[in-house]
Amino acid sequence: MLMISRITPRQVVALMSKGEVVQFVDARGEPTWSAAAEQVIGAVRVRPASIVRDATRVSHNCQVVVYGADDREAEVARVADQLRVLGCAHVRILDGGFAAWRAQNGAVQTKAVA
């Protein structure tokens, strides 16, 4: 598995403010996902068990930012690596995960049912 670089919430906001398209990927595992009420706005849920199917909903031609609840979820690196294998060229992991995004006042929405 190759090392996937990390990106801070502040760096993501800076990219978006320059007009770059960013596709968020929610890779939070169970039970964190089930307990959550929100997700990053526009995020696509991708699970390791169904990654090939889930990855079809991920835009491949932009910066892809994968996040978990925080920095402790092992699935996040696996999902990021698999997305790269499946053709996403620009994949980064959100440093600090959803908790850091929320702390930075990043845009969120009510969780979509996946």
Each residue of 39-53: pLDDT tens digit?
999 999 999 999 999
Each residue of 49-97: pLDDT tens digit?
999 999 999 998 999 999 999 988 889 999 999 999 999 999 999 999 9
Q: How confident is the model at residue 114 (pLDDT cuts 50, 70, 90)?
A: low
User: Could you please report the per-residue DSSP string of the chain?
Assistant: -PPPPEE-HHHHHHHHHTT--EEEEE---TTHHHH-SEEETT-EE--GGGHHHHGGGS-SSSEEEEE-SSTT-HHHHHHHHHHHHTT-SEEEEETTHHHHHHHTT--EEEPPP-
